[in-house]
Amino acid sequence: MSAEYEVHGDVAVITMNNPPVNGLGYATRAAITRGLDQASADASVKAIVVTGAGKAFSGGADITEFGTPKATAEPNLHSVIRAVENCDKPVVAAIHSVAMGGGLELALGCHYRIAAPGAKIALPEVKLGILPGAGGTQRLPRVLGVETALNMIVSGEAVNSELLAQQPGQKLFDRMAGSAESLLEDAIAFARSVAAARPLPLVRNLPCKHPLGDAYFQFARNMVKGMAKNLPAPAKCVDAVQAATQGRFEEGLAKERELFVQLMLSPESRALRHIFFAERATSKIPDVPPDTPQRDIRSVAVIGAGTMGGGIAMNFLNAGIPVTILEMKQEALDRGVATIRKNYEGQVKKGKLKSDKYEQRMGLLKTTLDYQDLKDADLVIEAVFEEMGVKRQVFEKLDQVMKPGAILASNTSTLDVNEIAGFTRRAQDVVGLHFFSPANVMKLLEVVRGAKTGKDVMATVMSMAKKIKKTAVVSGVCDGFIGNRMVEQYGRQAGFLLDEGATPQQVDKAIERFGFAMGPFRMGDLAGNDIGWAIRKRRALERPGMLYSRTADKLCEMGRFGQKTGAGWYDYQAGKRDAIPSAQVEKMIEDHRKELGITPRKISDEEIVQRLVFALVNEGAHILEDGIAARAGDIDMVYLTGYGFPLHRGGPMLYADEVGLFNVVQAMKRFQRNPRDDAKFWEPAPLLARLAAEGKTFN
């Protein structure tokens, strides 16, 4: 039973009950129609209320059923809505908390709607790469007007019920309930008051026009084109709403259905649906159950006020959590605080932050040169120089001063978190919190779980990540963790491509056409090529004989560190960021090829994309097999939120699934034959080889 049926005097109440959000899965749909039949057959029932149990009216179609026979099994959502419309007794939707997607579409099929204040109303299907497929594109414009409805459908954003109720001429809500608590009582009273009304009003009978007609839709289409380059759904939302203004209601519905089916089958929608679930799965750690006790995080300390320390501190200030930053010298503190101020002032200037909020946030920030001032912090995050000796000093000191139970975190990007934990007598309290630069902007947070990190520490930092609005992904301890370990292979391939005959601009353009915002060489110029140079020098000591292209080192030897030195892989004009192909770099690459005795060959864009992306995939497969990441979806989330992997591809691992793992392996075998490349690396990871042989996928 996924909906309950109760009779209150002469009003029947059907309560959807399918936790967590009353998704309209098969069982719920069937239970609603049974409730309608029962109410129709009962002469003592004069009106019907439909509502939802728990924390939602309904979150919409059950996304877990997509692609399964249950999704379309009768009664499908269309049939349920039709049954509501055709019911001979008035049906009132009593909306609270969340009415989204199919949930809102069901409410729009009801004869009347009453809403509690504070309910989130949305047609968010576009975020899943589809459009509302149960009449939402046809009915919402009829009750809210074309423009408001189209904005909601194209953006997928939720709007507060009170705000919608205040809109002049709106026909979405017939009544507002006094409060969420009184909703059911108010709905029953309202249902009683309309029990005798005939004919019963139907949204489908309302007119739907825009004063500018098709010209408005042309304008809307141009707008969404700019917004969603690689995603087909927003433009199709415009087509569907336009259809609502053109023909009969049933024709519009048929058009909506046609577009819905097209989008549902698109790779972009598969990618976005994968992201929906992957994003939610990252917070679940297999051996850390949801009821694991958590520690309180009421105050935070940050060690180091450099590039990362300042950004990390801002995350907590934004969430209303007091932060104390410690540095070695007052000048460093002053510089760090000035940078934080500058960032906030930028936001105030752009109108993104109110000045009183800015002052409030700065009021939560303290600075110190003395460890004693940190001792009561619940969480301390170290962001000092990337040297084990310095980390050792800091953690030994923290071990002495911090109160028992404080969580000690390191923002290290390459060092061994277990070794760092070993500098303390409380390894269970030590964890890696690897933020990405700029730390106040980037969504990704790799949570590095040490061998001895306590489960309660893991549970605590995962929920803390939610509070500071990060996508937290758990990584085991290894060089580079998930993201940087994979990007090293991507970078190596980019280098080999240059040696073999490609130019930086060709490589960048090819991968940018694939959907990355920036190719590896433009990215290197932005981040500073010297950073990778330093890492390569360290790795060369640790892994002698490692095969990689020397072009990036030669570039750095020329002093071309990137935008900050006015020259990198590209030339830059003073004050501008446009990447101009460089004759000097081209010559360096050619000379290097000659030194190596390589005759350059023409490399296709397809090969460039495959070598860059499959390098990520193969390393990702090793990472999964080594247990560094728990799921392929976690790896995808790392790449989507930390490395600019194109959203519409769903992440490297999903992309590999889409291409087909057999095809990925075949391509890798071809790359093994490239004389300049690393044949050993292209040996498919055992997990990849196994899945490919069995015709399976990562996800």
Q: Which is nearer to ligand 3HC, 158 or 558 (CB)?
A: 158
Give the range of 125-133, 261-269, 601-609, 683-691 binding ligand 3HC by CB under 6 A. Answer: 125-133
Q: Is the separation of the CB atoms in 455 and 303 below 8 Å?
A: no
Q: Is 64 in the site for ligand 3HC (CB under 6 A)?
A: yes
Q: Which is nearer to ligand NAI, 12 or 439 (CB)?
A: 439
Cα distance between residue 43 and residue 47, in whole Å = 10
Select 21 or 220, whichever has its Cβ closest to ligand 3HC. 21
* Choice from 62, 256, 446, 636 touching ligand 3HC (CB under 6 A): 62
Q: Residue 72 CB, nearest distance to ligand 3HC (Å)?
A: 10
CB of 368 to ligand NAI, least distance (A): 10
- Contact between 113 and 134 under an 8 Å Cβ cutoff? The reply is no
280 binds ligand 3HC (CB under 6 A): yes
Choosing from 125, 268, 500, 607, the catalytic residue is 125
User: Which residues contact residue 670 at a Cβ distance below 8 angstroms, ignoring those fewer than 6 apart?
Assistant: none
> Residue 567 gets which letter from DSSP?
B
Residues 37-56 that bind ligand 3HC (CB under 6 A): 56
Q: Which amino acid is at 536?
A: R
| Alpha-carbon distance values, 185 to 178, 191, 193, 255, 289 (Å) | 10, 10, 12, 39, 38
Instruction: Give residue number: closest CB to ligand NAI.
Output: 306
Smaller CB separation from ligand 3HC, 157 or 376: 157
From ligand NAI, ligand 3HC, none, interface partner of 134 (C-beta below 5 to 8 A by class) = ligand 3HC
| Residue (14 or 337) nearer to ligand NAI, CB | 337
Q: Is 125 a catalytic residue?
A: yes
Question: Site for ligand 3HC (CB under 6 A): which residue of 2, 33, 49, 59?
Answer: 59
Question: Of these partners, ligand NAI, ligand 3HC, none, which one is at the site of residue 411 (CB under 5 to 8 Å by kind)?
Answer: ligand NAI
Per CB under 6 A, the list member of 11, 14, 16, 128 interacting with ligand 3HC is 128
Task: Identify what 453 binds: ligand 3HC, ligand NAI, none; CB under 5 to 8 Å per kind.
Answer: none
* Token output for 639: 């790449």
Residue 306 or 566 having the CB closest to ligand NAI: 306
500 is an interface residue for ligand 3HC by CB under 6 A? no
Binding-site partner at residue 328 among ligand 3HC, ligand NAI, none, CB < 5 to 8 Å by type: ligand NAI
Name the residue whose CB lies closest to ligand 3HC: 101
The item of ligand 3HC, ligand NAI, none sharing an interface with residue 378, based on CB under 5 to 8 Å by kind, is none
Handedness of CA 202, 203, 205, 206 (dihedral sign): positive
Find how far residue 667's CA is from the centre of its chain: 29
Q: Which amino acid is at 465?
A: A
Q: Which is nearer to ligand NAI, 514 or 639 (CB)?
A: 639
> Is 121 an interacting residue with respect to ligand 3HC (CB under 6 A)?
no
Instruction: Give the C-alpha separation, 410 to 433, whole Å.
Output: 6
3-class state of residue 339 by DSSP: helix
- Helices in 119-176 by DSSP H: which ranges? 136-144, 146-155, 161-165
CB of 326 to ligand NAI, least distance (A): 6
Q: Which does 385 bind (CB under 5 to 8 A by kind): ligand 3HC, ligand NAI, none?
A: ligand NAI
- Per CB under 6 A, which of residues 89..108 are in contact with ligand 3HC? 98, 100-102, 105
Q: Which does 128 bind (CB under 5 to 8 A by kind): ligand NAI, ligand 3HC, none?
A: ligand 3HC
Show the CA angle centred on residue 555, arms to residues 551 and 560, nearest 5°. Answer: 160
* 3-state SS, residue 450: coil
Catalytic residue of the set 6, 85, 105, 586: 105
Q: What is the 3-state secondary structure (H, E, C) of 220-267?
A: HHHHHHHHCCCCCHHHHHHHHHHHHHHCCHHHHHHHHHHHHHHHHCCH
Q: Least Å distance between CB 435 and ligand NAI?
A: 6
CA distance 247 to 460: 55
Q: Does residue 634 interact with ligand 3HC by CB under 6 A?
A: no
Task: Write the CB contacts of 40 (distance below 8 Å, at least 6 apart in sequence).
Answer: 87, 88, 89
- Report the nearest approach of ligand 3HC to the CB of residue 50 (Å): 16
HEC string for 264-310: HCCHHHHHHHHHHHHHHHCCCECCECCCCCCCCCCCEEEECCCHHHH
Q: Which is nearer to ligand 3HC, 62 or 607 (CB)?
A: 62
If contact means CB under 5 to 8 A according to the sort of partner, which of ligand NAI, ligand 3HC, none does residue 182 touch? none
Compose the 4-43 pattern: x for residues touching ligand 3HC by CB under 6 A, - for all others: ----------------xx-x--------------------
Separation CA 383–CA 368 (nearest Å):
15
- Reference 162, options 147, 148, 176, 174; nearest CA is 176
Residue 67 to residues 2, 300, 578, 691, Cα–Cα distance (Å)? 21, 45, 44, 22
On the 0-12 / 13-18 / 19+ scale of CB atoms within 10 A, 511 is buried
Q: CA-to-CA distance for 444 and 435, rounded, in angstroms? A: 7
What residue ranges in 53-100 does DSSP mark as E strands?
91-95, 98-100
The verdict on 252 binding ligand 3HC (CB under 6 A) reads no
Nearest one of 378, 502, 394, 481 to 435, comparing CA atoms: 481
Q: Does 77 bind ligand 3HC (CB under 6 A)?
A: yes
| CB-nearer residue toward ligand 3HC: 29 or 113 | 29
What is d(CA 84, CA 95) in angstroms, rounded to the nearest whole number?
Answer: 16
Q: How far is the CB of 305 from ligand NAI (least distance, A)?
A: 5
The binder of 21, among ligand 3HC, ligand NAI, none, by C-beta within 5 to 8 A per type, is ligand 3HC
* Residue number with CB closer to ligand 3HC (129 or 519): 129
483-500 and 632-642 helices cross at what angle (nearest 10)? 70
Which residues are at the interface with ligand NAI (CB under 6 A)? 303-309, 326-328, 332, 383-386, 390, 393-394, 411-413, 435-437
Q: Which residues bind ligand 3HC (CB under 6 A)?
A: 20-21, 23, 56, 59-64, 77, 98, 100-102, 105, 124-125, 128, 132-134, 136, 280
- Which residues are part of the catalytic machinery? 105, 125
